[in-house]
Amino acid sequence: MELSTFKIIVTGGAQGMGAHFAKRLVEAGAQVAVGDVKEDGLATLAASVTGPGKLHTRKLNVADESEVVDFVQWAHEAMGGLNGLINNAGILRDGLLVKKDRETGAITKMSRDQWNAVIDVNLTGATMIAREVIAKMMETNTRPGVIVNMSSIARYGNRGQSNYSAAKAALAANTLTWAREFGTYGIRVGAIAPGMIETPMTQGMNPKARDALVEKVPAGRVGVPEDIWQGVRFVLECDYFTGRTIDIDGGLSM
């Protein structure tokens, strides 16, 4: 598919990778509906986007099912159709599942709230908006269509990220599941699994954990959103790609 033909949703698009994807798509002539909980970030994005395409923005909390349903309907109406989704919204609430203090012996545990917050956004929210976008494409007999899920190399398992790793592994698995379920409707589903990428979210990581990860990157640097955009663009454009997850991680093994 040509990028200029897309009428596509980008979640978590107020900053970081999502904002970068939106800008690149508008530059290519696409219509893009961006949703995020950060309305100030959406306003900043709208002021900075240039190109022949068109940007639409609206507040969206993907963890709220009713907001997801309303957002997809709004995006379809605003763009005069819908044939794509970049499932990018995500949060971190890192911590060991169980931690023992070396000095006091005190035990602390990952809270249910820490677990639920990440699962609600990174997995349940991603699943709900994929469901709504796919349903809209099927309802309107729109084809071809493309879903791009943003997984992570943390899906292989990463210390201190039980919640995040579980969500991203499940999203990668469902990439193949959905490709098999909806291929007959002309809908492709692919995933990108970023490694250590320079974004506001990763900048908020524990500094020691961040530095330790960077030292393990064979490419010798932290990735940037443009590195990931190249993978997203491939999934969007390659009509023979579906059901697979591409790691873009500089060779990092967690």
Is 240 labeled as catalytic in the residue annotation? no
Q: What is the DSSP string of the chain?
A: --GGG-EEEEES-SSHHHHHHHHHHHHTT-EEEEEES-HHHHHHHHHH--SSSEEEEEE--TT-HHHHHHHHHHHHHHHT---EEEE-------B-SEEE-TTT--EEE--HHHHHHHIIIIIIIHHHHHHHHHHHHHHTT--SEEEEEE--GGGG--TTBHHHHHHHHHHHHHHHHHHHHHGGGTEEEEEEEE-SB-SHHHHTS-HHHHHHHHHT-TTSS-B-HHHHHHHHHHHHH-TT--S-EEEESTT---
Positions annotated as catalytic residues are 164
